[in-house]
Amino acid sequence: MNWNKRLLETPIIGDLTKKIASIKASREAHSIADHFTQFLQPQIATDQTLRNEVFKIRHNVYCEELAFEEVRDDGQEKDEFDEQSIFSLIKHKPTGTFTSCVRLVTASGPDEKLPIEKYCLDSITNTDLSPERFNRAEIAEISRLAVKSDFRRRKSDQFKGSGTGVISEISYSETELRCFPFIAIGLYMAAATMGMNTGIRHVYVMMEPRLARSMKFIGITFQQLGAPVDYHGLRAPYYINPDIFMSNLSPGFRSLYDTIEKDICVQLRELQLM
């Protein structure tokens, strides 16, 4: 164990360091929200052209880079859950290029399962929060988050796996906010907005524990529902709801969320009118 990690785990020094880092994070997040608005824009995939952009980004990350899925002749990665999903992308304003994407899988009918229900239900040991216990119209799953390698500018963001929002523990610590993948955070916030504004009350995600720990640092507190399993790497089932999300979000990152929510809500209203 290196000295930095030992110090962070020392009760007094560790707590003080985390408080200082949290204050720094909150202050910097206000600036980040301004920069996010200037350069990046969340975009709901309201038509087939935008959905095709989603499938292309997923193919680039999940098939070509990570080899989680087989390469497709048409260059688009799709699965059975896309028909019951809402998609969001993040666009780089200066170039008009889409940097990344995420989907929110819903289950409006009894025959529609979430991916976590079909493939990882046995990994949920906290049965009180199992998706089977809630109204089907109020559950959803965040999945298929993907960030194109072109938009991982830092060398620390080029490691295998960063395309799905994973944070490199070698390059990232709580005191080094500059290494946070803000595009991935923006995607989670976009998914949260889509869910909370469409009646979703219970959200699930299979993610790497280190990503969950990093999200907790900024106040996105996912509740782990079971031990990690081998699912496209070591991942565990997590749960969050609107009350947990809003009550724990740090003030600075609330500013970033408010920016994203405003943009997404305008698009949702336009989508409902179509």
The pLDDT profile of the chain, 274 residues, written as one tens digit per residue, is: 544 444 345 444 444 445 545 555 556 656 767 777 888 899 999 899 999 999 999 999 999 988 889 999 999 999 999 999 999 999 988 889 898 999 999 997 778 999 999 999 999 999 999 999 999 999 999 999 998 887 765 444 443 444 444 434 333 334 333 334 578 888 999 999 999 999 999 999 999 898 888 788 778 899 999 999 988 888 999 999 999 999 988 777 888 899 899 999 988 887 775 5
Distance CA 32, CA 183 (A): 11
Residue 16 within any structural domain of the chain: no
* In-domain check, residue 7: no
User: Would residue 6 count as lying in a domain?
Assistant: no
Distance between CA atoms of 84 and 249, rounded to whole angstroms?
28
Residue 79 φ/ψ region, left for φ over 0, alpha for ψ in the -120 to 50 degree band, beta for the rest: beta
pLDDT at 152: 64
Task: Report the Cα 77 to chain-centroid distance in Å.
Answer: 18
Q: Report yes or no on 220 lying in a domain.
A: yes
Asked whether residue 8 is domain-assigned, the answer is no
Q: How many domains does the chain have?
A: 1
Task: Output the pLDDT for position 254.
Answer: 87
Whichever domain contains 191, its CATH number is: 3.40.630.30
Q: How much is the pLDDT for 139?
A: 97
Question: Does a structural domain hold residue 18?
Answer: no
Q: What pLDDT is recorded for position 39?
A: 83
Q: For residue 183, tell me if it sits in a domain.
A: yes
Residue 228 lies in a domain: yes
Predicted confidence at residue 177, as pLDDT, reads: 36
Note the pLDDT of residue 13: 44
Q: Could you tell me the residue range of the domain that residue 256 belongs to?
A: 32-273
Task: Using only the alpha carbons of the chain, give its radius of gyration.
Answer: 18
pLDDT at 270: 79
**Whole-structure pTM value:** 0.80
